[in-house]
Structure 1
Amino acid sequence: MSEDKNRFPELVNPVLPKRGLVYQESNPQLVLCKPKLLPLKSMTLEKMERMQKEANEKAKEMQEEIEKEKQAGFTDTIGSEETADVLTLDDD
């Protein structure tokens, strides 16, 4: 005990009252709350990206259909003779 007094001379011995109320001072502590995570992308940006992706997919599908029609059209006309439908009017 004497070693403790020599080591820590600045410590104050606690005084407890024999009568009356005992008060304790407290320092306000920071209270940590659950972190609120914010999205990296806003809902509007995600919606716009989804719309852009859908538009690109539709354009790609349409391009593929056009290519298929061209391929089908060229293969059908290669071996056949084409005749034009002509309307003739007779002046009788």
Structure 2
Amino acid sequence: MPFVAEPKSAATGGKKSSGTGVREVLPRKGLLYQEDGAPLALCRPKLLPLKSVTLEKLEAMQAAAQEKSKEQRLRQQQDLNASSEGRF
């Protein structure tokens, strides 16, 4: 961005003068660069969880479903064993 100065009347506190201020000059050839000299601000590193909350909930749901499935299989085997023992 080119530098644009305020007119002299505003810069001098409202006094009127015969000048028009600083004239804006743009190059006719080549490139115009402007460097931003903002310093880098270092901040504390943020610790991120290895697993998201959603992933932890999903894993808990899967573990509960596996436990339920295991219990049902054990019940079925116990029922089969009880019914087969009663036949003989």
TM-score, scaled relative to structure 1: 0.49
Other-structure match for 2:51: 41
Unaligned ranges ≥5, structure 1: 1-27, 79-92
Unaligned ranges ≥5, structure 2: 1-37
> CA offsets per residue over residues 51-82 of structure 1, 9 Å max, x none?
0010001000110010001001100111xxxx
**Residue 59 in structure 1 maps to residue 69 in structure 2:** yes
Q: CA deviation at 1:29?
A: 7.3
- CA distance in 1 between partners of 2:55 and 2:86 (Å): 46
For the pair shown, the structure with the greater C-alpha radius of gyration is 1
Q: CA deviation at 1:35?
A: 1.6
> CA offsets per residue over residues 10-54 of structure 1, 9 Å max, x none?
xxxxxxxxxxxxxxxxxx976543221111111101100110010
**Residue 72 in structure 1 maps to residue 68 in structure 2:** no
The amino acid across from 2:78 in the alignment is: K
Other-structure match for 1:50: 60
- CA distance in 1 between partners of 2:87 and 2:78 (Å): 14
State the superposition RMSD in angstroms.
1.7
